[in-house]
Amino acid sequence: MTNTVLGYKQSTFPTQLIVISTIGFLMFAILPFALGDFQLSLVSKLIIFGSLAVSLDLVWGFTGILSFAHGVFFTLGGYAAAYYLKLNLSASANNYGGELPDFMVWNGLESLPWFIAPLKHFPIALFATVAVPALFAYIIGYFIFHSKVSGVYITIITLAISSALTTFFVSQQAYTGGTNGITDVSRLNFFGTPISATGIYFLILIYATFVLALSWWLTQSNFGLILRSINENEQRIAYLGYDVAQYKIFIWTLSAALAGLAGGLFVPLNRFISPVYLAVAFGTQVVIWVAIGGRGTLIGPLLAAMLLGQVQNSVEKVTQDWQLIVGILLLVVVLFIPSGLMSLLPERFNLTNLSRPKPIEPRIPSEKGS
């Protein structure tokens, strides 16, 4: 973005950001040596969910578009990856010996549908993991943001999208595996050698660092300032000559692409994908992480997703009523701590300030007459 906002320091090389990301990355890089396989896969999953929350934070926390559809983008990426892994099952591992995935055989498909077949190749699959959700988001964004539809209606539209797509995926059993989704996929291979749990963990960690760094850089730049201004006073930004719709579409599409990639990494880890992640309930989960962590803080949603996931894992051994606890937490946060748990931290530790460019000291005009 070449547009600059007057009165604010131009963003410079983000030294602080790089130092902090490196420290964070190193801290997590040690984890595989301290944890068992089960714990490691749990942490990997939580990091993915955390990155997903960060991607939602970009559109909600910074731009003010509350979306329940981020689970949809996540799952679209996930399905692309799942098709790739499913199609690359070796013939011996495939119970039917043929080219066709088992669920397609059960549903009487004779040959691979043309829109799934290319996903057998890794570059295409990787591209689809990002491009399919991004394209879907772009179409929706182009459609919605060029209108005068207000924030609440956009949220209702995302609810409807999530609901409609869940119904659609469940009904197209022959192509999507129906309610079960795509299960028993192969392991992710690197030129023939399967990647271990630790390898996948590192892939995920690199991805999460990338997402966080990118989001930080974006929101710290002038572009981020404009996003924030759109959130605060859309009309004024429009009057200043910025094309609000373009900005919204861009961040919405980018966020969807990041969410899709998260889904793509989730499948090799989890070894299945199903419409559960399409449904409104999962979209809500993402929204809750962001709300509790703190909107517009990036690191808050990440931490909230990881902590809540960890707590949920231990609480669910004791009680079945985890959802009730989450609901109460959400209510309390919305009513009493609207800027999220991150705002409770003392200013010093509040990393959000990093992403908020400091205003240039106003030049005080010399007093008149003297």
Partner 1 sequence: MFHCISFSTGVSLYFLAQEEAEVTTGIDGLAILNQLLNGFGIVGVLLLTGLGLAITFGVMRIINLAHGEFIMLGAYVTFVMQSTFQMDLLLTIPFAFIVTAAIGAVVEFIIIRRLYGNPLETLLATWGLGIVLQGIVKLLFTAQLKYVKAPAYLSGSLVLLSDSSGAARVAISYYRLFIVLVGLALLGITMFLFYGTSWGRQIRAVTQNRDMSKCLGVNTQLIDMGTFAYGCGLAGIAGTVISPLKSVAPPMGQDYLVDAWMVVVTGGVDRLVGILAGSFLIGESNALIAFLLNDPLARVIVLTAVIVLIRYRPEGLFTVQKRV
Q: Which is nearer to partner 1, 14 or 178 (CB)?
A: 178
3-state SS, residue 6: coil
Q: Could you give the string, one character per residue 78-117, with x where binding to partner 1 holds by CB under 8 A and - elsewhere? A: ----------------------------------------
By CB under 8 A, name the one of 6, 26, 30, 335 that touches partner 1. 335
Size of the site for partner 1 (CB under 8 A): 43
Q: Residue 132 Cβ, how far from partner 1 at the closest point, in Å? A: 18
Q: Which is nearer to partner 1, 155 or 343 (CB)?
A: 155
| Nearest residue to 130 via CA among 287, 4, 261 | 261
- Rounded to whole angstroms, how far apart are CA atoms 347 and 327? 28
Q: Which is nearer to partner 1, 148 or 358 (CB)?
A: 148
How big is the chain by its Cα radius of gyration, in Å? 22
- Of the candidate spans 20-28, 249-257, 268-276, 332-340, the one that interacts with partner 1 by CB under 8 A turns out to be 332-340
The answer to whether residues 103 and 177 touch, using CB atoms and an 8 Å cutoff, is yes
> In this structure, which amino acid lies at residue 254?
L
Q: Could you give the string, one character per residue 134-163, with x where binding to partner 1 holds by CB under 8 A and - elsewhere? A: ---------xx--xxxxxxx-xxx-xxx-x
Q: Which helix (H) or strand (E) holds 165?
A: helix 151-171
Q: Which is nearer to partner 1, 103 or 169 (CB)?
A: 169
Q: Which helix (H) or strand (E) holds 193?
A: strand 193-194
- Rounded to whole angstroms, how far apart are CA atoms 330 and 140? 28
Q: Counting contacts by CB under 8 A, is residue 164 touching partner 1?
A: yes
Query: Where do runs of H (alpha helix) occur along 233-321?
Result: 234-239, 244-270, 280-293, 299-315
Interface residues with partner 1 (CB under 8 A)?
64, 66, 143-144, 147-153, 155-157, 159-161, 163-165, 167-168, 170-171, 280-281, 284, 287-288, 291, 320-321, 323-328, 330-331, 334-335, 338
